Amino acid sequence: MSAKALERLEQRFAECVLETHDFRGDETAVVDRAAIVDVASWLRDEPDLAFNMLTDMTAVDWLLEGREPRFEVVYQLYSVEQRHRLRIKVQVPEEDPVVDTLTRLYGIADWLEREIWDMYGIRFKGHPNLKRILLYEEFVGHPLRKDYPKEKRQPLVRRPENEIADVLARRGKARPLPQPPPRSAR
Amino acid sequence: MMETPKDQESLDLTTMHMGPSHPAMHGTIHIKVQLAGERIENAEVNIGYLHRGFEKEAEAHCWQQIFPYTDRLNYVSPMLNNVGYAMAVEKLCGVTVPERAQYIRVIVGEIARIADHLTYMAAQTMEMGAFTPYFYVMKGRDWLWDLLEEVSGARLTHSYVRIGGVAWDLSEGFKEKTIEILPRIDQVVVELDKLMTRNRIFLDRMQDIAVISAEEAISYGWTGPCLRGSGVDYDVRKAHPYLVYDRMDFEIPIGTDGDNMDRYMVRMEEMRQSMRIIRQALDQIEPGPVMIEDRLVVIPQKAATYNTIEDMINHFKLVIDGIRPPRGEVYSYTEAGNGELGFYLVSDGTGRPVKCRVRPPCFMGMAALKQLIEGHMVADVIPTFDTINMIGGECDR
Partner-chain contact B218 A65, CB within 8 Å = no
- Separation of alpha carbons B118 and B137, rounded Å: 6
Domain boundaries, position B265: 54-396
- Separation of alpha carbons B276 and B227, rounded Å: 22
Give the ipTM: 0.85
Per-residue pLDDT of B216-229, as tens digits, reads 999 999 999 999 99
A57 - beta bridge partners? A75
The pLDDT assigned to B88 comes to 93
Least confident among A8-17, A47-56, B357-366: A8-17
**Residue B183 shares a structural domain with residue B245:** yes
The pLDDT assigned to B218 comes to 92
With CA atoms as reference, report the closest residue to B235 among B339, B139, B308.
B339
Per-residue pLDDT of B191-210, as tens digits, reads 898 888 888 888 988 888 88
Residue A84 has pLDDT above 50, yes or no: yes
Least confident among A6-20, B30-44, B136-150: A6-20
Q: What is the mean pLDDT of residues B62-70?
A: 90
Per cent of chain B over pLDDT 90 is: 37
State the best of B93, B364, B370, B372 to mutate against chain A, taking most chain A CBs within 10 Å: B364
Residue B364 in contact with partner chain A when CB distance is under 8 A? yes
Instruction: Tell me phi and psi for residue A28, to 5 degrees.
Output: -135, 140
SS3 B363: helix
What amino acid occupies position A112? L
What amino acid occupies position B187? Q
**Residue B349 shares a structural domain with residue B257:** yes
The answer to whether position B264 is within a domain reads: yes
**Residue B336 shares a structural domain with residue B391:** yes
Residue B256 has pLDDT above 70, yes or no: yes
For residue A28, the surrounding DSSP H or E stretch is: strand A28-31
Q: Report yes or no: A40 and A15 within 8 Å, Cβ to Cβ.
A: no
Instruction: Tell me phi and psi for residue A160, to 5 degrees.
Output: -60, 135
Partner-chain contact B219 A134, CB within 8 Å = no
The pLDDT assigned to B360 comes to 92
Q: What is the mean pLDDT of residues B63-77?
A: 89
Mean residue pLDDT across chain A: 83
State the best of A61, A72, A83, A108 to mutate against chain B, taking most chain B CBs within 10 Å: A108
Q: Report yes or no: B395 and B50 within 8 Å, Cβ to Cβ.
A: yes
Measured on CA atoms in the order B376, B381, B386, B392, is the torsion positive or negative?
positive
Q: Which residues of A touch B (CB under 8 A)?
A: 23-24, 26, 28, 52-56, 58, 60, 62, 64-65, 74, 76, 80, 83, 85, 87, 106-108, 110-111, 119, 132-136, 143-144, 148, 150
In chain B, the number of structural domains is 2
**Residue B18 shares a structural domain with residue B113:** no
Partner-chain contact A56 B357, CB within 8 Å = yes
**Residue B335 shares a structural domain with residue B375:** yes
Instruction: Tell me phi and psi for residue A146, to 5 degrees.
Output: -70, -20
Per-residue pLDDT of B39-52, as tens digits, reads 888 899 999 888 98
**Residue B226 shares a structural domain with residue B373:** yes
**Residue B260 shares a structural domain with residue B383:** yes
Residue B7 has pLDDT above 60, yes or no: no
Residue B342 has pLDDT above 60, yes or no: yes
Look at chain A and count its residues: 186
Residue B393 has pLDDT above 50, yes or no: yes
- Separation of alpha carbons B181 and B148, rounded Å: 12
**Residue B255 shares a structural domain with residue B138:** yes
**Residue B108 shares a structural domain with residue B28:** no
State the best of A1, A22, A23, A53 to mutate against chain B, taking most chain B CBs within 10 Å: A53
The answer to whether position B65 is within a domain reads: yes
Domain architecture of chain A: domains with CATH: 3-174 (3.30.460.80)
CATH number of the domain at B73, please.
1.10.645.10
The answer to whether position B344 is within a domain reads: yes
**Residue B15 shares a structural domain with residue B68:** no
**Residue B355 shares a structural domain with residue B247:** yes
pLDDT band for position B1 (50/70/90)? very low
The pLDDT assigned to A17 comes to 84
Residue B155 has pLDDT above 50, yes or no: yes
Q: Please tell me which residue of chain B has the smallest CA distance to A118.
A: B48
Residue A11 has pLDDT above 60, yes or no: yes
Mean residue pLDDT across chain B: 88
Question: Residue B92, Cα to own-chain centre: how many angstroms?
Answer: 22
The answer to whether position B1 is within a domain reads: no
pLDDT band for position B318 (50/70/90)? confident
Per-residue pLDDT of A131-168, as tens digits, reads 889 988 888 888 898 888 888 887 776 655 555 556 56
**Residue B227 shares a structural domain with residue B87:** yes
Partner-chain contact A150 B57, CB within 8 Å = yes
Q: How many CA atoms lie within 13 A of B342 on its CB side?
A: 26
